[in-house]
Structure 1
Amino acid sequence: MDIKDTAHPLDGAALSAFLDSLPSRPRLLGLGEATHRVKELRALRNELFPHLVEHEGYRAIALEIDCLKARIVDDYVTTGKGSLDEVMEHGFSHGFGAMSGNRDLVQWMRAYNEEHDAKLRFFGFDGPLEYWARSPREALTGLYDLLHEPLPCTRETLDSLLGADERWEDEESAMNPARSIGRSPEAVELRIIADDLAACLDMQAPQLSAEEREQAELYARTATGLLRYHYWLADDSPARWGRLSALRDAMMAANLVAIAERHGPALLFSHNLHLQRNEAHMRFGDEVLRWSSAGAIAGTRLGDGYAFLASALGTVSGDAPAPGTVEGLMAALPWDRCLLDGAELAAAVSGLSPRVSSDFAYFPLDPAHIAVTDGVYFVREATDET
């Protein structure tokens, strides 16, 4: 099969046709990034999301940012609370608030919500972590304050066990397990309390409003996930980074499933590495880490309710793809951006070698994994926005 037979110029109509071709309409549609900070990918996302809202009934978008911080953005787009500058500074993690495409998205969502009764929602689905992790205080105390007596401890005991946030948020703990307090007696006790509070949430769910339940469930997932992550930050075995990577994606997947259940259909925007269905792998120093991606986990839970479009890039920061790669073949197509069916593309590029890049943050398409994507979207020029 010629690759031209699988490709169509990418616009809203092409995306709707792609959705029509799926076995059923997904509750989550993942739009992947081959690398972060490509402004053309965010511009395309900002073009496609309004089409999904107007023509496909989408009412939510979720980005790869801190799930707790993102509530600041959601408050702004739904109620106008705060200023846009404050929201971009405090509502995004990983430095993504400084990107113009994200600012444009938030502005458009706020303007839309001012004119419509059915509000668009904004979510983050990453945990409150980088390579190190934030304090579990916000999640634990937030969950505690939403519940009613009897509870497993007093608020004073909870605050005492948490101690100073600086003890938890030591950036050096990422590379030095001895700097982590994740296996201290206080942290171990907090893991038990978090589990008990999650059980209290289950028992008290009928007494909570739908909004309170959703908020409490987010706090419960985040608290237990963070404490689990901190526990493994303190591990000094060779399995440490593989386990941490897997735990992060498991936290992402739990948030994605919750978004699908309450707010789908929703558009996702995140790195291919997290949204893909195949096993994730990444070189980390002398190791190659392997783990189940958030997309693989969420896809297992949601079945046909999850769909994924991987991104492929042509020229990246002046580096053009070689002709014998998937990206090289796409670069010969007549469109600056196009959409290709995953199964058809996999058959057309069988036997090709993956593109090689010196950029550790850029993950070119692996021809062996294209068959487990629903589709691939290609952008000819990729401009980095730092």
Structure 2
Amino acid sequence: MATDIKDTVHAVGAAAVMRLLPARPRLLALGEPTHGEDTLLDLRNELFRQLVEEEGYRTIAIESDCMRGLVVDDYVASGTGTLDDVMEHGFSHGWFNGSAANRELVRWMRAYNDGRPASERLRFAGFDGPLEITHAASPRQALTALHGYLAARVDADLLPCTADTLDRLLGADDRWTHPAAMRDPAQSVGQSAEASQLRLLADDLGALLDERTPHLITATSRDDWDRARLYGRTATGLLRYHYWMADTSPARMTRLVGVRDQMMADNLLAVAARGPGLVHAHNGHLQRNKSTMRMGGMLLEWWSAGAIVNSHLGEGYAFVATALGTIGHQGVDTPPPDTVEGLLYALPEDRCVIDAPRLATALGDTRPAPRVSPWFGYSPLDPAHLADSDGIVFVKDVPQS
């Protein structure tokens, strides 16, 4: 069957990916089926370099805390801080900050920007919320930053509260980050009287920011205003997430994963508004179809960030999934020949770009079997959704980082 699909195969590169698409998308999403493998991040880095040099891309957004990402962006855009500090404080999720490939990405972006005018500089964004699967951050940082931005620039009478009121309602941060709250809604403060009041204040502060847009952009800059909007999105998103952490209904977990991806989608739409960007995250966050996950015996289904963004941008959004043959150090061995990964593994190339819709057409009624991974950390391709991606990057073998 490999001979039937060889016409869909191309060398990995920005030009090959662009040839799969009707036009240059505002967001080109490159998914990965597992985290923490520098082989995949090195490939992402090379693709980003080519997109910058050949296609005019200027932003990269990765699945990391959007607030911490500001530390990275300040460094790559203007040299604020040191590379060591940025790697320690600018990334969330443990597999990011220790990655040699992420360090190389940040170093290269800083070197590229050195001496260039602001309009030509590369930008970095984290697009995940300040969330982990075990807990969510306090809304303090985002809420107080939004309040501070407004308090310095609009009449005090227009503000819905003082900084002291926010501080009193927020209380100690460890009330918000209690790890037990993920499993026990009674441990969450998300539906307390204080949290309810904070949700209203966050809404009012966000509305004030929007209605004062002409003055604020003139008084500061579009970048500063964009950042204040990020504070507002993050504060309201976190307060919504904490609300659902305190919920006791059967919808609780579905709402939590849905709120997270909606926060991701809002951040990605803000990246798209700034111009063409490469997005890198798990396939499950970027795909156009519904995401699913088993948790505690329950099957959760929700719309991914990619599905939401695709609904807004249409052809302005493109999704290329990554699939793998083997991850030997994790016990993921040669894929069965009747799976999509098995068909691609039989090709001579070590890595290649596949035209996914053409591959689906070439396979016709021969629906490949779904691959089953022996390791929870790798998510195989779903053969039923081949045609829902614009392309596939296939990497035959992933060595230990």
| Stretch moving more, 15-24 or 132-141 | 15-24
Task: State whether structure 2 residue 136 is matched by structure 1 residue 133.
Answer: yes
Aligned length: 381
Task: State whether structure 2 residue 146 is matched by structure 1 residue 143.
Answer: yes
Counterparts of 2:360 and 2:132 in 1: how far apart (Å)?
34
Tell me: CA distance 1:244–1:254, structure 2 relative to 1, closer, same or farther (3 Å).
Answer: same
Task: State whether structure 2 residue 286 is matched by structure 1 residue 275.
Answer: yes
Counterparts of 2:71 and 2:272 in 1: how far apart (Å)?
20
Contact 2:11 2:352 in 1 (8 A): yes
Counterparts of 2:103 and 2:383 in 1: how far apart (Å)?
34
Letter in 2 for 1:102: N
Task: State whether structure 2 residue 242 is matched by structure 1 residue 230.
Answer: yes
Q: Percent identity?
A: 57
Task: State whether structure 2 residue 259 is matched by structure 1 residue 260.
Answer: no
TM-score, normalised with respect to structure 1: 0.96
Counterparts of 2:127 and 2:400 in 1: how far apart (Å)?
23
> Which residue of structure 1 aligns with residue 394 of structure 2?
378
Q: How does 1:262-341 map to 2 (within 5 A)?
A: 262=274, 264-317=275-328, 318=331, 319-341=333-355
Tell me the secondary structure at the aligned position of residue 114 of structure 2: helix
Give unmatched runs, 5+ long, in structure 2.
Answer: none
> Which residue of structure 1 aligns with residue 194 of structure 2?
186
Letter in 2 for 1:112: Y
Tell me the secondary structure at the aligned position of residue 37 of structure 1: coil
Tell me the secondary structure at the aligned position of residue 198 of structure 1: helix
> Which residue of structure 1 aligns with residue 357 of structure 2?
343
TM-score, normalised with respect to structure 2: 0.93
Q: How does 1:111-122 map to 2 (within 5 A)?
A: 111-117=111-117, 118-122=120-124
> Which residue of structure 1 aligns with residue 225 of structure 2?
213
Counterparts of 1:53 and 1:325 in 2: how far apart (Å)?
34
Contact 1:253 1:294 in 2 (8 A): yes
Letter in 2 for 1:334: P
Per-residue deviation, 1:120 = 0.5
Counterparts of 1:310 and 1:38 in 2: how far apart (Å)?
15
Per-residue deviation, 1:143 = 0.7
Contact 2:20 2:390 in 1 (8 A): no
Per-residue deviation, 1:2 = 1.0
Per-residue deviation, 1:115 = 4.4
Superposed structure 1 runs of 4+ greater than 2 Å apart: 347-350
Task: State whether structure 2 residue 109 is matched by structure 1 residue 109.
Answer: yes
Contact 1:39 1:383 in 2 (8 A): no
Q: How does 1:62-101 map to 2 (within 5 A)?
A: 62-95=61-94, 96-101=96-101
Tell me: CA distance 1:243–1:384, structure 2 relative to 1, closer, same or farther (3 Å).
Answer: farther
Contact 2:16 2:353 in 1 (8 A): no
Tell me the secondary structure at the aligned position of residue 106 of structure 2: helix
Per-residue deviation, 1:358 = 2.2
Counterparts of 1:242 and 1:275 in 2: how far apart (Å)?
18
Counterparts of 1:211 and 1:107 in 2: how far apart (Å)?
22
Per-residue deviation, 1:38 = 1.8
